[in-house]
Amino acid sequence: MSLVVTVLQTVVYAVVFVKIFKWLYEYYEFAKIIDKIPGPKAYPLIGNTLIFRKVKHDDRYEWFRGVCKQYHGGIFRTWLGTTASVHLTSPETVSAVLASRTLITKSPIYDFIHPWLGTGLLTSTGDQWHQQRKLITPTFHFNIMDEYSVVMFEKAEILKECIESELKNNPNAPIDVFDFLTRCALDIICEAAMGVNINAQTDQDAEYSTALHGITTQAVDRIFRPLLHYDWLYYHTRDGKKFKRTVETAHKFTKQVISEKKLARQNRQRHNADENEKPKRQAFLDHLLDACEREKMPLTDEELREQVDTFLFAGHDTSSSSMSWALFCIGNNPDVEEKIHEEHLRIFGESKEPATLRQINELKYLERVIKETLRLFPSAPSVSRRVTEDLEIAGYKIPKNSIAGIQIHYIHRDPKHWPNPDKFDPDRFLPENSQGRHPYAYIPFSAGPRNCIGQKFSLLEQKIVLTAILREWKVKSALKYEEAKCYNDFILRPQQGIKIYFTRK
**Which of 124-133, 371-380, 438-447 shows the lowest mean pLDDT across its residues?**
124-133
- Residue 210 binned pLDDT confidence (cut-offs 50, 70, 90): confident
- Mean predicted confidence (pLDDT) in 457-476: 97
- Has residue 169 been placed in a domain? yes
- Has residue 18 been placed in a domain? no
147: number of CA atoms within 13 Å, CB side?
20
Q: For residue 298, what is the enclosing H or E element?
A: none
**Which of 17-26, 115-124, 181-190, 445-454 shows the lowest mean pLDDT across its residues?**
17-26
- Has residue 10 been placed in a domain? no
- Has residue 12 been placed in a domain? no
**Whole-number Å distance between alpha carbons of 63 and 44:** 23
Using an 8 Å Cβ cutoff, are 163 and 180 in contact?
yes
Using an 8 Å Cβ cutoff, are 456 and 142 in contact?
yes
> 458 or 24: which carries more pLDDT confidence?
458
- Mean predicted confidence (pLDDT) in 151-160: 96
- Has residue 67 been placed in a domain? yes
Residue 466 φ/ψ, nearest 5 degrees: -65, -35
**Whole-number Å distance between alpha carbons of 323 and 458:** 10
- Has residue 26 been placed in a domain? no
> Above 70 in pLDDT, residue 205?
no
DSSP 267: H
Using an 8 Å Cβ cutoff, are 381 and 492 in contact?
yes
- Has residue 13 been placed in a domain? no
- Residue 243 binned pLDDT confidence (cut-offs 50, 70, 90): very high
Please report, for residues 54, 69, 97, 454, 482, the alpha-carbon distance to residue 211 in angstroms, rounded to integers and kept in the order given. Answer: 26, 34, 33, 23, 30
Residue 446 φ/ψ, nearest 5 degrees: 60, -160
Residue 256: what residue type?
Q
> 216 or 137: which carries more pLDDT confidence?
216
> 121 or 425: which carries more pLDDT confidence?
425
Mind listing the pLDDT tens digit for each residue in 93-137? 999 999 998 888 989 889 999 999 999 888 888 888 888 888 788
Using an 8 Å Cβ cutoff, are 103 and 402 in contact?
no
> Above 60 in pLDDT, residue 153?
yes
**Which of 62-66, 239-243, 270-274, 421-425 shows the lowest mean pLDDT across its residues?**
270-274
Give the structural domain span for 206: 35-504
How many separate domains does the chain show? 1
Q: Is the dihedral of CA 289, 295, 297, 298 positive or negative?
A: positive
Residues 6+ apart with CB under 8 A from 491: 216, 317, 318, 321, 379, 380
- The CA-to-CA distance between both ends of the chain, in Å, stands at 93
Using an 8 Å Cβ cutoff, are 373 and 329 in contact?
yes
> Above 60 in pLDDT, residue 79?
yes
Return the percentage of the chain with pLDDT > 70, whole number: 96
Other beta carbons less than 10 A from residue 130's beta carbon: 13
Using an 8 Å Cβ cutoff, are 158 and 202 in contact?
yes
Q: For residue 257, what is the enclosing H or E element?
A: helix 238-271
Other beta carbons less than 10 A from residue 334's beta carbon: 12
Other beta carbons less than 10 A from residue 164's beta carbon: 13
Per-residue model confidence (pLDDT) at position 24: 86
**Which of 115-119, 241-245, 265-269, 302-306 shows the lowest mean pLDDT across its residues?**
265-269
Per-residue model confidence (pLDDT) at position 164: 96
- Has residue 16 been placed in a domain? no
Per-residue model confidence (pLDDT) at position 276: 55
Map residue 86 onto helix, strand or coil: strand
Per-residue model confidence (pLDDT) at position 277: 54
- Residue 282 binned pLDDT confidence (cut-offs 50, 70, 90): confident
CATH number at residue 51: 1.10.630.10
